[in-house]
Chains A and B, each alone.
Chain A
């Protein structure tokens, strides 16, 4: 009986060992008081209306248009700490669209921040990287519809397509294609909110609310005649739009 018991004991010990031997070491949870999750909420608007792929919108010149594709790359996000030091959010590149508001920046240290900045577009190295080398879950992989120029290897940083009413009286159908594809290294723009202070408090995840107003991005663009730029073929129009991006963003 005693012997039987000792066999059972060894069996049990070994079995336990067997099942635990493959488990990875559990690391300690990060102390919740030192880091919190930070998320960017990007609200895509046209004037006071939320941008979407279903409605007809009116730009600042009173021209009516629809949106069929509307995406942009946001990268190189940097938080400015209260002592002026910078905290780059490495490895986070977002391809935004009006149907998604939330873009997670990840865990950041609790504390006070003076502000933040990011770029619309991609830095040169990433811009000229090979999209086929990214897994399909990565925003830099080949997208459907594509947001990469395969004939002039580089990404489209900011893409808006849809239809517009080109009649002077704006009483016609909204049926003429417009297309704004902005890319190339020199068209990336740093968006600066370095004096928009916020704090990340212990035990509370933080959200930065940002608005992007498409009407503001297209200010001074006559959508009835300036119908198209692939950047290279109309650098003036591309420059005009890219230079509007900073003022199209606002912190809520």
Chain B
């Protein structure tokens, strides 16, 4: 009887053991980190919510990691420059020079664009050669005139850094890799918005006193055929993201979009940039060749140089000095308050 009971216990013990034997080891209950909850981005009033890749939804931890990487020179060959060296927050994520400085005093090929509102960009760079933000991260790291580094070696540096290993684990539950590096930086960049200017107050908040008379006159010209800016600089972000030849040169040393497509009809075409904060993002054009807003307005007023690919809307406008000043004043009303 006693033995029978014992048999029963032994049997039950093994059944229990079998039930648990196939289960994976359960980690101790994970502490819920609020930094890993998906968040809703704080999009400016009047703006649509941007498309976000399903594998890179924003969390506070991911954004913090991306920001840390963005400003860390660890990603350049000689650890001298970071993304933030050419995209300075104080200059609306531009750098104030015609061509950005890479490592060892080298110059980048084109002017550093702002990355504010980059969440809305359908493709990256002046020539649109890269289809999304995640892949864009690779280009400045590899570019010999910028960070001039091997992405795999950059990842190796991150793997040898205890803090980064912990950061990546915390935010992506993965080790540093090309995948997580590109995700983290893109995740941060998608949080950088701009859309709180006098113009926005006027348009989206119905504050009719937000713009003065000169700015209003400039706005009217901007949005009609008189100055004809709105064909390309449209919508909440003041760009249609098209590629246009704006008559900057008759012969382009930099072929622009044609560098990607190989089409002669794309020579001298560059992606239309946003005009938000344009007052603070001088110098202008893909090569930073125009120093001031007044000169930019004069360029478009003159109709630019002849070129077979030049946009039809770039033609002589014969604006008066007051009209040009109104346009400049309107452009300055696009600066975040």
Q: Does A107 contact B (CB under 8 A)?
A: no
Interface contact B135-A130, CB-CB below 8 Å: yes
Rounded to whole Å, the gap between the CB of B303 and the closest CB of chain A is 30
Is the C-beta of A115 less than 8 angstroms from some C-beta in chain B? no
Does B280 have its Cβ within 8 Å of any Cβ on chain A?
no
> In the complex the two chains form, is B10's CB within 8 Å of A132's CB?
no
**Are B178 and A142 within 8 A (Cβ)?**
yes
B289 adjacent to chain A (CB < 8 Å)? no
A-B contact count (CB 8 A): 94
Binds A, one of B30-38, B88-96, B150-158, B218-226: B150-158
Q: List the one stretch of B41-49, B126-134, B200-208, B290-298 in contact with chain A.
A: B126-134
Chain B minimum-CB-distance residue to A130: B135
The answer to whether the Cβ of B14 comes within 8 Å of any Cβ in the partner chain is yes
Whether, in the assembled complex, A87 has its beta carbon less than 8 Å from a beta carbon of chain B, the answer is no
B contacts with A, residue count (CB < 8 A):
38
Q: How large is the interface on A (under 10, 10 to 19, 20 to 34, 35 or more residues)?
A: 20 to 34
Q: Is the CB of A144 within 8 A of B3?
A: no
B140 to chain A, nearest CB (A): 8
A15 on interface, CB distance cutoff 8 Å: yes
CB closest residue in chain A, given B3: A3
Q: Across the interface, which residues of B come within 8 angstroms of A11, CB to CB?
A: 10, 14
Partner of B178, one of A14, A141, A152, A232: A141
Report B's interface with A, CB cutoff 8 A.
Answer: 3-4, 6-7, 10-11, 14-15, 17-18, 21-22, 125, 127, 129-132, 134-135, 138-139, 141-143, 150-153, 177-179, 181-183, 259-260, 262
Given A11-B14, A15-B14, A22-B22, 10 more pairs with CB closer than 8 A: A3-B7, A14-B15, A130-B132, A132-B135, A132-B177, A132-B179, A133-B179, A144-B152, A150-B142, A152-B259
Task: Give me the interface of A with B, judged by CB distance under 8 Å.
Answer: 3-4, 6-7, 10-11, 14-15, 17-18, 21-22, 128, 130-133, 136, 141-146, 148-153, 184, 232-233, 235
